[in-house]
Amino acid sequence: MPEDRALAVGVLALQGASAAHIAAFDELGVRARPVRSRPELEGLSHLVIPGGESTTIHHLLELFDLRQAIIDRYNDGQLALFGTCAGAILLGIDAGEAPPRFGLLDAILNRNAYGRQIDSFSKILPLPALGTELRCVFIRAPKVRRVGSGAQVLAWDGDDPILLRGSGLLAATFHPELSGDPSIHAYFLEPALWNSVRSCPARGVSIETEAPNRHVIAGQ
Ligand code: GLN
The pLDDT tens digits of the residues spanning 162-180 come to 999 999 999 999 999 999 9
Least confident of 31-45, 76-90, 103-117: 103-117
Find out whether 49 and 82 touch, Cβ atoms under 8 Å: yes
The active-site residue, picked from 21, 46, 58, 85, is 85
Ligand 1 pocket mutation pick from 60, 85, 137 by most atoms within 8 angstroms of CB: 85
Q: Is the CB of 12 under 6 A from ligand 1?
A: no
Q: What is d(CA 4, CA 166) in angstroms, rounded to the nearest whole number?
A: 21
Phi, psi of 206 (to 5 degrees): -75, 125
49-57 average pLDDT score: 97
CA of 112 to the centre of ligand 1 (A): 7
111-139 average pLDDT score: 92
Return the percentage of the chain with pLDDT > 90, whole number. Answer: 80
197: confidence class by pLDDT, cuts 50, 70, 90: confident
Bridge partner residues of 165 (DSSP): 152, 170
> Closest residue (by CA) to atom 8 of ligand 1?
51
Full set of structural domains in the chain with CATH:
9-207 (3.40.50.880)
216: confidence class by pLDDT, cuts 50, 70, 90: very low
Instruction: State the pairing for strand pair 160-166/169-172.
Output: antiparallel
Q: What is d(CA 42, CA 92) in angstroms, rounded to the nearest whole number?
A: 23
- Give residue 55's identity as a one-letter amino acid code: T
Active site residue 59: no
Q: What is d(CA 89, CA 181) in angstroms, rounded to the nearest whole number?
A: 23
User: In the 3-class helix/strand/coil scheme, how is 13-63 assigned residue by residue?
Assistant: CCCCCHHHHHHHHHHCCCCCEEECCHHHHCCCCEEEECCCCHHHHHHHHHH
Compute the mean pLDDT over every residue in the chain, rounded to the nearest whole number. 89
CA 95-160-144 angle, 5° bins: 15
